[in-house]
Structure 1
Amino acid sequence: MKTAIQIEVRPTEIDVMGHVNNAKYLEYMEWSREDWYNRVGLPFDVFTEMNVGTVTVNININYRKEARLGQKLTISTEPVRKGRTSFVLKHEIVNEQEELVADAEVISCTIDLKARKAVPLPDELAKHFT
Protein backbone atom coordinates (compact mmCIF):
# COMPACT_ATOMS: atom_id res chain seq x y z
CA MET A 1 0.00 0.00 0.00
CA LYS A 2 1.36 3.38 -1.01
CA THR A 3 0.47 6.32 1.22
CA ALA A 4 1.21 10.05 1.08
CA ILE A 5 1.17 13.11 3.28
CA GLN A 6 1.31 16.78 2.31
CA ILE A 7 3.27 19.52 4.05
CA GLU A 8 4.07 23.17 3.50
CA VAL A 9 7.71 24.23 3.91
CA ARG A 10 8.07 26.42 7.02
CA PRO A 11 10.64 29.14 7.78
CA THR A 12 12.40 26.98 10.39
CA GLU A 13 13.19 24.39 7.71
CA ILE A 14 15.16 26.78 5.49
CA ASP A 15 18.96 26.99 5.62
CA VAL A 16 21.35 29.83 4.72
CA MET A 17 21.07 28.89 1.02
CA GLY A 18 17.37 29.81 1.10
CA HIS A 19 16.10 26.26 0.53
CA VAL A 20 15.10 23.30 2.70
CA ASN A 21 18.01 22.03 4.78
CA ASN A 22 19.08 18.52 3.77
CA ALA A 23 18.32 17.06 7.22
CA LYS A 24 14.70 18.22 7.02
CA TYR A 25 14.03 15.85 4.11
CA LEU A 26 14.77 12.97 6.47
CA GLU A 27 12.21 14.36 8.92
CA TYR A 28 9.60 14.66 6.16
CA MET A 29 10.23 11.02 5.26
CA GLU A 30 9.99 9.98 8.90
CA TRP A 31 6.60 11.70 9.19
CA SER A 32 5.43 9.89 6.06
CA ARG A 33 6.76 6.56 7.35
CA GLU A 34 4.85 7.01 10.62
CA ASP A 35 1.71 7.76 8.64
CA TRP A 36 2.28 4.57 6.57
CA TYR A 37 2.57 2.46 9.73
CA ASN A 38 -0.65 3.97 11.09
CA ARG A 39 -2.59 3.52 7.86
CA VAL A 40 -1.61 -0.14 7.47
CA GLY A 41 -2.78 -0.79 11.03
CA LEU A 42 0.63 -0.90 12.71
CA PRO A 43 0.83 2.13 14.99
CA PHE A 44 3.58 2.28 17.61
CA ASP A 45 1.44 0.70 20.36
CA VAL A 46 0.73 -2.39 18.23
CA PHE A 47 4.45 -3.00 17.79
CA THR A 48 4.97 -2.45 21.52
CA GLU A 49 2.31 -5.04 22.34
CA MET A 50 4.25 -7.51 20.16
CA ASN A 51 7.50 -6.52 21.96
CA VAL A 52 8.86 -5.40 18.59
CA GLY A 53 10.48 -2.16 17.53
CA THR A 54 11.66 -0.91 14.16
CA VAL A 55 15.12 0.62 13.84
CA THR A 56 16.40 2.51 10.81
CA VAL A 57 19.74 1.02 9.78
CA ASN A 58 20.40 2.68 6.40
CA ILE A 59 19.09 5.58 4.35
CA ASN A 60 20.12 6.16 0.76
CA ILE A 61 18.76 9.54 -0.27
CA ASN A 62 18.97 11.46 -3.55
CA TYR A 63 18.43 15.21 -3.50
CA ARG A 64 17.01 16.07 -6.93
CA LYS A 65 15.61 19.62 -6.78
CA GLU A 66 15.56 22.31 -4.15
CA ALA A 67 12.41 23.05 -2.18
CA ARG A 68 11.75 26.57 -0.95
CA LEU A 69 9.74 28.41 1.66
CA GLY A 70 5.99 28.06 1.29
CA GLN A 71 6.09 25.24 -1.26
CA LYS A 72 3.63 22.43 -0.78
CA LEU A 73 5.27 19.03 -0.92
CA THR A 74 3.83 15.54 -1.11
CA ILE A 75 5.81 12.78 0.59
CA SER A 76 4.91 9.21 -0.35
CA THR A 77 5.87 5.94 1.28
CA GLU A 78 5.57 2.46 -0.17
CA PRO A 79 6.90 -0.97 0.72
CA VAL A 80 9.60 -2.29 -1.61
CA ARG A 81 11.05 -5.55 -0.27
CA LYS A 82 11.62 -7.54 2.86
CA GLY A 83 14.25 -9.82 4.25
CA ARG A 84 14.15 -12.03 7.32
CA THR A 85 14.67 -9.23 9.87
CA SER A 86 14.77 -6.15 7.64
CA PHE A 87 12.55 -4.32 5.19
CA VAL A 88 12.80 -1.44 2.73
CA LEU A 89 10.39 1.48 2.36
CA LYS A 90 10.70 3.86 -0.58
CA HIS A 91 10.00 7.56 -0.20
CA GLU A 92 9.46 10.19 -2.86
CA ILE A 93 9.02 13.91 -2.30
CA VAL A 94 7.39 15.87 -5.11
CA ASN A 95 6.48 19.54 -5.40
CA GLU A 96 3.23 21.07 -6.68
CA GLN A 97 4.50 20.80 -10.27
CA GLU A 98 4.93 17.02 -9.73
CA GLU A 99 8.72 17.43 -9.97
CA LEU A 100 10.77 14.95 -7.97
CA VAL A 101 12.49 16.84 -5.16
CA ALA A 102 14.06 13.88 -3.34
CA ASP A 103 13.77 10.12 -3.12
CA ALA A 104 15.17 7.53 -0.76
CA GLU A 105 15.15 3.91 0.23
CA VAL A 106 15.10 3.39 3.98
CA ILE A 107 16.18 0.04 5.39
CA SER A 108 14.80 -0.81 8.80
CA CYS A 109 15.24 -3.80 11.05
CA THR A 110 12.81 -5.30 13.56
CA ILE A 111 14.16 -5.84 17.06
CA ASP A 112 13.02 -7.44 20.29
CA LEU A 113 12.40 -4.45 22.57
CA LYS A 114 13.73 -6.19 25.68
CA ALA A 115 16.73 -8.06 24.24
CA ARG A 116 17.55 -5.23 21.77
CA LYS A 117 18.41 -7.85 19.14
CA ALA A 118 17.11 -8.37 15.61
CA VAL A 119 14.07 -10.63 15.25
CA PRO A 120 12.16 -11.89 12.20
CA LEU A 121 9.53 -9.55 10.77
CA PRO A 122 6.16 -10.14 12.40
CA ASP A 123 3.55 -11.49 9.98
CA GLU A 124 1.51 -8.32 10.53
CA LEU A 125 4.32 -6.33 8.92
CA ALA A 126 5.63 -8.90 6.42
CA LYS A 127 2.23 -9.24 4.71
CA HIS A 128 2.56 -5.68 3.32
CA PHE A 129 5.54 -6.72 1.18
CA THR A 130 4.11 -8.90 -1.56
Structure 2
Amino acid sequence: MAGFRIPIVVRSYELDSLGHVNHAVYHQYAEVARMSGFAAAGCDWDGLLDRRIASVLLSTTVNFRRELRASEHIEVTCEVKFGTGKTFNVNSMILKADGTVAAEVYCIVGLMGLDARKLLVDPRGVLESNGFDAAVLSGTD
Protein backbone atom coordinates (compact mmCIF):
# COMPACT_ATOMS: atom_id res chain seq x y z
CA MET A 1 0.00 0.00 0.00
CA ALA A 2 1.46 3.32 -1.05
CA GLY A 3 0.25 6.67 0.17
CA PHE A 4 0.35 8.19 3.65
CA ARG A 5 2.34 6.54 6.45
CA ILE A 6 3.06 7.63 10.01
CA PRO A 7 5.63 6.11 12.38
CA ILE A 8 4.58 5.12 15.90
CA VAL A 9 6.55 3.52 18.73
CA VAL A 10 4.60 1.03 20.88
CA ARG A 11 4.44 2.26 24.48
CA SER A 12 4.50 -0.05 27.47
CA TYR A 13 1.17 1.20 28.83
CA GLU A 14 -0.54 0.01 25.61
CA LEU A 15 0.14 -3.64 26.48
CA ASP A 16 -2.30 -6.14 27.92
CA SER A 17 -1.63 -8.85 30.53
CA LEU A 18 -0.10 -11.08 27.84
CA GLY A 19 2.57 -8.50 27.07
CA HIS A 20 1.38 -7.50 23.63
CA VAL A 21 -0.63 -4.50 22.41
CA ASN A 22 -4.20 -4.44 23.68
CA HIS A 23 -6.79 -4.93 20.95
CA ALA A 24 -8.36 -1.49 21.44
CA VAL A 25 -5.04 0.25 20.83
CA TYR A 26 -5.03 -0.91 17.20
CA HIS A 27 -8.12 1.28 16.71
CA GLN A 28 -6.21 4.20 18.24
CA TYR A 29 -3.26 3.66 15.91
CA ALA A 30 -5.62 3.74 12.92
CA GLU A 31 -7.24 6.93 14.26
CA VAL A 32 -3.81 8.59 14.53
CA ALA A 33 -3.16 7.68 10.88
CA ARG A 34 -6.62 8.91 9.79
CA MET A 35 -6.34 12.28 11.51
CA SER A 36 -2.71 12.81 10.45
CA GLY A 37 -3.41 11.61 6.92
CA PHE A 38 -6.40 13.88 6.46
CA ALA A 39 -4.35 16.80 7.80
CA ALA A 40 -1.54 15.96 5.33
CA ALA A 41 -4.17 15.92 2.57
CA GLY A 42 -5.21 19.46 3.54
CA CYS A 43 -8.56 18.65 5.14
CA ASP A 44 -9.86 21.64 7.10
CA TRP A 45 -11.83 20.00 9.94
CA ASP A 46 -12.50 23.38 11.57
CA GLY A 47 -13.94 24.64 8.29
CA LEU A 48 -16.25 21.63 8.17
CA LEU A 49 -17.39 22.23 11.74
CA ASP A 50 -18.03 25.88 10.90
CA ARG A 51 -20.38 24.56 8.19
CA ARG A 52 -21.99 22.21 10.78
CA ILE A 53 -20.49 19.08 9.18
CA ALA A 54 -18.55 16.33 10.96
CA SER A 55 -17.10 12.98 10.05
CA VAL A 56 -18.75 9.93 11.56
CA LEU A 57 -17.18 6.49 11.85
CA LEU A 58 -19.85 3.96 10.92
CA SER A 59 -17.95 0.68 11.01
CA THR A 60 -14.49 -0.61 11.89
CA THR A 61 -13.11 -4.08 11.29
CA VAL A 62 -9.68 -5.10 12.53
CA ASN A 63 -7.92 -8.23 11.36
CA PHE A 64 -5.09 -9.07 13.75
CA ARG A 65 -2.12 -10.75 12.03
CA ARG A 66 0.96 -10.47 14.30
CA GLU A 67 1.46 -9.33 17.85
CA LEU A 68 3.16 -6.07 18.73
CA ARG A 69 5.30 -5.59 21.81
CA ALA A 70 6.67 -2.64 23.78
CA SER A 71 9.20 -0.39 22.04
CA GLU A 72 8.53 -1.80 18.57
CA HIS A 73 8.73 0.74 15.78
CA ILE A 74 5.72 0.47 13.49
CA GLU A 75 4.20 2.38 10.60
CA VAL A 76 0.50 2.93 10.09
CA THR A 77 -0.82 3.68 6.63
CA CYS A 78 -3.96 5.54 5.60
CA GLU A 79 -5.75 5.05 2.30
CA VAL A 80 -9.09 6.55 1.27
CA LYS A 81 -11.39 5.02 -1.34
CA PHE A 82 -14.46 6.90 -2.53
CA GLY A 83 -17.40 5.37 -4.34
CA THR A 84 -20.66 6.94 -5.43
CA GLY A 85 -22.64 6.73 -2.20
CA LYS A 86 -22.83 8.59 1.08
CA THR A 87 -19.97 6.63 2.66
CA PHE A 88 -16.33 6.04 1.87
CA ASN A 89 -13.62 3.68 3.04
CA VAL A 90 -10.59 4.64 5.11
CA ASN A 91 -8.22 1.69 5.42
CA SER A 92 -5.00 1.27 7.37
CA MET A 93 -2.27 -1.30 7.59
CA ILE A 94 -0.22 -1.52 10.76
CA LEU A 95 3.25 -2.64 9.73
CA LYS A 96 6.14 -3.96 11.80
CA ALA A 97 9.63 -2.56 11.09
CA ASP A 98 10.39 -5.46 8.70
CA GLY A 99 7.20 -4.76 6.71
CA THR A 100 5.17 -7.62 8.21
CA VAL A 101 1.49 -6.73 8.52
CA ALA A 102 0.54 -6.71 12.20
CA ALA A 103 -3.08 -5.69 11.55
CA GLU A 104 -5.47 -4.48 8.87
CA VAL A 105 -8.05 -1.87 9.84
CA TYR A 106 -11.02 -1.27 7.54
CA CYS A 107 -13.35 1.66 8.26
CA ILE A 108 -16.54 2.97 6.72
CA VAL A 109 -16.93 6.71 7.22
CA GLY A 110 -19.52 9.31 6.30
CA LEU A 111 -19.98 13.04 6.67
CA MET A 112 -22.97 14.11 8.73
CA GLY A 113 -24.84 17.39 8.54
CA LEU A 114 -25.05 18.24 12.22
CA ASP A 115 -28.34 20.11 12.00
CA ALA A 116 -30.30 17.51 10.00
CA ARG A 117 -28.35 14.57 11.57
CA LYS A 118 -28.17 12.95 8.11
CA LEU A 119 -25.28 11.70 6.02
CA LEU A 120 -24.31 13.99 3.16
CA VAL A 121 -24.68 12.74 -0.40
CA ASP A 122 -21.25 13.72 -1.81
CA PRO A 123 -18.62 13.29 0.92
CA ARG A 124 -15.68 13.58 -1.51
CA GLY A 125 -17.00 16.86 -2.92
CA VAL A 126 -17.62 18.25 0.55
CA LEU A 127 -14.11 17.31 1.70
CA GLU A 128 -12.53 18.74 -1.45
CA SER A 129 -14.42 22.01 -0.95
CA ASN A 130 -12.57 22.23 2.38
CA GLY A 131 -9.10 21.73 0.93
CA PHE A 132 -8.89 17.93 0.92
CA ASP A 133 -6.62 16.44 -1.79
CA ALA A 134 -7.75 12.83 -2.23
CA ALA A 135 -4.59 11.98 -4.20
CA VAL A 136 -2.52 12.24 -1.00
CA LEU A 137 -4.42 9.27 0.48
CA SER A 138 -5.22 7.42 -2.74
CA GLY A 139 -2.85 4.51 -2.15
CA THR A 140 -1.32 4.82 -5.61
CA ASP A 141 2.12 6.05 -6.58
Secondary structure class of the residue paired with 2:119: coil
Residue of structure 2 in register with 1:123 after alignment: 125
Partner deviation per Cα, 1:87-119 (whole Å, 9 max, x = no partner)? 001100001111100012100111002222111
Residue of structure 1 in register with 2:27 after alignment: 26
Shift of 1:124: 4.5
Distance 1:76 1:122 in 2: 20
Structure 1 unmatched ranges of 5 or more: none
Distance 2:124 2:91 in 1: 20
Which 10-residue stretch deviates more, 74-83 or 104-113? 74-83
Distance 2:93 2:14 in 1: 18
Residue of structure 2 in register with 1:93 after alignment: 94
Is 1:82 the counterpart of 2:88? The answer is no
Identity score, percent: 25
Using structure 1 for the length normalisation, give the TM-score: 0.90
Which 10-residue stretch deviates more, 35-44 or 18-27? 35-44
Using structure 2 for the length normalisation, give the TM-score: 0.84
Secondary structure class of the residue paired with 1:76: strand
- What's the Cα RMSD here? 1.9
Distance 2:15 2:74 in 1: 14
**Structure 1 residues 65 and 14 mapped into 2: Cα distance closer, same or farther (>3 Å)?**
same
Is 1:60 the counterpart of 2:61? The answer is yes
Shift of 1:20: 0.2
Shift of 1:59: 0.9
Distance 1:67 1:74 in 2: 12
Q: Are the aligned partners of 1:4 and 1:32 in contact in 2 as well (CA < 8 Å)?
A: yes
Structure 1 ranges of 4+ moved more than 3 A: none
Is 1:41 the counterpart of 2:42? The answer is yes
Distance 1:3 1:122 in 2: 18
Q: Are the aligned partners of 1:2 and 1:79 in contact in 2 as well (CA < 8 Å)?
A: no
Secondary structure class of the residue paired with 1:55: strand
Distance 2:124 2:20 in 1: 40
Shift of 1:82: 2.7
Q: Are the aligned partners of 1:65 and 1:102 in contact in 2 as well (CA < 8 Å)?
A: yes
